[in-house]
Amino acid sequence: MDKRSTQIIVAVVVVAVALIGYIYYERAWNRAPAENDWVNAPAEPPAPAQERVIITAKHAYQNGKHIIAGEYGLPTPCHTLDTKYTLAENNTVVIDFLVSNPTQGACAQVVTPARFKIEIPAPGDAKFIARLNGQDVTLNLIEAGPGEDLSKFELYIKG
C-alpha cells in the first residue's frame, strides 16, 4: 500500500469511531431514564432533617425541690407558654411546654421571649424529659451558681 491509501484508511477509521461515539452518547443522554437511574433524581435537593428544639434553662435543687427557670421564644406576642410536669417511674420527671395562641385576630410575627419557672418536688437525682406540644425536645439545664436564687426568678406576665 502506498502512503495515500494508508492515510485514507486511518481517516475513515477515525471518522467511524467518532460517529459511533457520537451516536452512543446521543442515545445515552436522550433515552428515558430508568426508575432507579441517577438521571431520575428529583430536581430539588431533599429537605434537611428537622433540627431538634433545644430549651435552655437554669436549674437548682433547694429544699427538696428542683427549680427550673428560663425563657423560650414564642412565634408571636399573642402566643402563650404554659408548663406542667408529671412524675414518672425511676425518678423521671416529664416537663411539658405547651405553646398556644388563644387569640383569633391578626398578630405581628415577632419572636417574643416568654419566661417560665417550674418548682418540682422530686429526689435530687431525678432525670428530666421535656416535650414541646407533645414532641420530644432537648432540655439543656445549666446549674445555677452558688449566689443565684431561682426561687426569686421573675416571670413576665402578659396583661
Contact between 157 and 115 under an 8 Å Cβ cutoff? The reply is: no
Q: 431538634: which residue's cell?
A: 52
The residue ranges of every structural domain in the chain are 3-40, 54-152
> How high is the pLDDT of residue 42?
56
Q: Which of 90, 96, 53, 91 is nearest to 73 (CA)?
A: 53
The per-residue pLDDT string of the chain (159 residues; one tens digit each, 9 = 90 and over) reads 688 888 888 888 888 888 888 887 777 666 655 555 555 555 566 666 678 899 999 999 988 999 999 999 999 999 999 999 999 888 899 999 999 988 777 888 899 999 999 999 999 999 999 999 999 999 999 998 888 878 777 655 554
The side-by-side arrangement of strands in the sheet containing 92-100 is: 80-87, 92-100, 127-132, 135-143, 54-62, 65-74, 112-121
